[in-house]
Structure formats: C-alpha cells, structure tokens
C-alpha cells in the first residue's frame, strides 16, 4: 500500500491529495473561522495559523488518512475528508468531511469525494464499517449520507450545541457487505 503522505485518490472531477503543509494557508484558516462553514463542526472558530499548522502536523505525524479535496480543472482546494480514527481490530473507521469553499457547495463534490474514500476504505483497507456523527439539524449532510448508503444507528439526544441551540446527533454507518 502507498505511504499515507503520497496516497492520492481521483474521481472524474476531483483529486484527493494527502493533507500537508501546503494546505496550511489563509484560505483554510478562513474556512475554520467562517461561522456558516463550521456551523455543524465540532471544531473551528477563533482558529489561529499556529493551531491550524499544529493540526496538520498532528495528522501528518500520526499517519491519518486525511485528504485535501481539489478540483482537477484548476487545482483549487475546496475541502477536506478523512477517516480517523481507524479501529483495525474491529474493522471500522470514523468519517469526517469539511466542504470549506462555499462557492462550491451544492455541486455534488462532497458525494463524489465521499464515494471514492468509502470505496478505498472497503476495498483497500478492508474495513467492514464506516461511522459518522452528524447534527440532526444539518439536513443537507444527513441527506447526502443517506444517498451514499449510510443508515441511522442511534440518536444522541441533545448531544451537541450547534447554531445556538442544543441538537440531537445522529450516529450513522455504512457497511461493507463484502467484509462481514
């Protein structure tokens, strides 16, 4: 298998390149401080460049499967996607995605990037399951995950504080039928 730091994944319109210090820039920092972009994220807001650099350094040093999502047409960095942590003993990983560039929202890029990462997790890493947590109020994300094949496994009542109010968090999963 390729090294974490060189493993790229391609789709029709996207190139997923491993997160590295080239991604540590004002654009990414702006995403992490944009209230609309981070509305349903666990982290973000009041981020500094040093915190972003430390976050990326941690991902690189800990060999996390973490990619920047880039448009093939012009190389523009529009978001990030990762599987972390991975529990190889039990065969599952935790999925996360950030579509940071609001100009690119609603164009199907999140679904395209998610599909190739899920395929990689099932076919290369041989995981049997991918999990995620999502605020129930984040209707666009819930709809995306359901279209990809995720199902709700549980509901954590009033678990997160998003958009100024307590929200339920859905725990969702997709299963690799070939590795059960």
Token digits of residue 109:
């890029």
The set of catalytic residues is 145
At residue 45, the pLDDT reads: 82
- Between 109-123 and 139-148, two packed helices, what is the crossing angle to 10 degrees? 40
What does pTM read for this prediction? 0.93
pLDDT tens, residue order, the chain (180 aa): 556 668 999 999 999 999 999 999 999 999 999 999 999 988 868 899 999 999 999 999 998 999 999 999 999 999 999 999 999 999 999 999 999 999 999 999 999 999 999 999 999 999 999 999 999 999 999 999 999 999 999 999 999 888 788 999 999 999 998 754
Tell me the domain boundaries of the chain.
Answer: 9-127
At residue 6, the pLDDT reads: 80
Fold of 9-127: Aminopeptidase (3.40.630)
SS3 51: helix
| Share above pLDDT 70 across residues of the chain, in percent, rounded to a whole number | 95
């Amino acid at each position: 298998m390729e090294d974490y730091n060189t493993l790229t994944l391609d789709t029709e319109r996207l190139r997923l390149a491993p997160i590295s210090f080239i991604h540590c820039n004002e654009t990414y920092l702006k995403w992490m401080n944009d209230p609309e972009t981070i509305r349903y994220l666990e982290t973000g807001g009041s981020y500094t460049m040093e915190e972003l650099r430390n976050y990326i350094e941690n991902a690189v040093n800990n060999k996390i499967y973490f990619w920047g999502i880039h448009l093939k047409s012009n190389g523009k960095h529009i978001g990030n996607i990762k599987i972390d942590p991975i529990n190889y003993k039990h065969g599952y990983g935790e999925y996360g995605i950030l579509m940071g560039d609001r100009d690119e929202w609603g164009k199907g890029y999140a679904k395209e990037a998610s599909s190739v990462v899920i395929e990689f997790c099932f076919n290369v890493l041989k995981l049997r399951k991918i999990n995620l947590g999502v605020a129930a109020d984040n209707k666009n994300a819930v709809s995306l995950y359901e279209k990809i094949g995720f199902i709700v496994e549980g509901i954590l009542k009033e678990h997160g504080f998003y958009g100024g109010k307590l929200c339920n968090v859905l725990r969702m999963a997709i299963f690799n039928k070939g590795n059960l």
